[in-house]
Structure 1
């Protein structure tokens, strides 16, 4: 059987004779499985404390960006579409500015230099919070605190399950990509698109 790639079709099915309805049902099933994994992840991290500084949403500040698999990207795209598309997300938030940063001699970065996550709205809130990817759910920011922490083996198990799910979604291979690169590669209609800066 040959597999054909098409940018406007889901990879949820490997059979070339499948209908769009079959593909939609297959994708919905995979997204349901992803939602179940995310509920388990959220329960595992329930003891974490996040100061909601949005620092982790500014990839140029932390030097880190969450990777997303194809199935996570599909969920993000669905959440963006539900909000009216990329342009409906609105303005990006202003750059981080605090007396703490300037008192320690750090230079203030512009919004462009901060590389603000395209899902962060002008109020500093995630516009797709309930659909955010695994990397955003695991509090990889140094500011997050936990009384006991989460076992690395548990995190690795979640990663494996998400990768397995992504492999079913994109049988031709899925290693994950940085969020902004994945969105840009998904096309202008589903990616972050141009956003107004302050």
Structure 2
């Protein structure tokens, strides 16, 4: 019986396939590490309370927006894909009530002025809650309360670990960028898609 030949790994189609498989496995491993880190973050913030006003998800109201690294964006993209893609996002929730103060000469914010996070669904809930970025997990809005206060050293340690993961994901460097800009750059923030017919 003649000896069996092993596949020629030098053939370009086999190298490309192997490289893509290796890349997918490496990304899956990094995303698993990020998910485990997020569980630690959630546990450390378990004592925090949030009134679920979605005010912090309206960047024009707070004047702040969470930054995301490349690895966090990859997890967000995976969660968006699991929902059926970007066309399922961008359905605007109702405007906030109570944040406008016209008695002091401030104008009432329109929905556009609120700059609603594109991940917020029409019911005012995060469409990818379990995969939300670090900045969304750390209760940076003023409405959140904590019996022990915020441990800035713990937050900084988590940030360093996320940056380390991001550096392994994108060795050329990714220090983070605003969530809406990152989503737009990834093609995941193209606005509302067609509603499904029932």
- Give the TM-score, by structure 2 length: 0.84
How far does the alpha carbon of each residue in 1:82-112 deviate from its partner, in whole angstroms, 9 at most, with x for none?
Answer: 1111111351112112387456664321111
- Give deviations 1:131-177, integer Å, cap 9, x for gaps: 00000000000000000023111100000000000000000111100
Q: May I ask how many residue pairs the two structures share in their alignment?
A: 198
Aligned pair in 2 of structure 1 residues 99, 157: CA closer, same or farther (>3 Å)? Answer: closer
Question: 64-73 vs 1-10, which deviates more?
Answer: 1-10
Larger radius of gyration between Structure 1 and Structure 2: 2
Structure 1 residues 99 and 78, CA gap change in structure 2 (3 angstroms): closer
Partner Cα distance (2:26, 2:97) in 1: 45
Kept in 2, the 8 Å contact 1:13–1:169? The answer is no
**How large is the Cα RMSD of the aligned pairs?**
7.8
* Cα shift readout 1:44-86 (whole Å, capped 9, x = no counterpart): 1000000001000000000000000000000000111111111
Change (3 A) 1:189 1:45: closer
Whole-angstrom distance in 2 between the partners of 1:43 and 1:97: 31
**TM-score normalized with structure 1 length:** 0.84
Quote the offset at 1:3 in angstroms: 38
Q: Which runs of 5+ in 1 are unaligned?
A: none
Residue aligned with 1:13, SS: helix
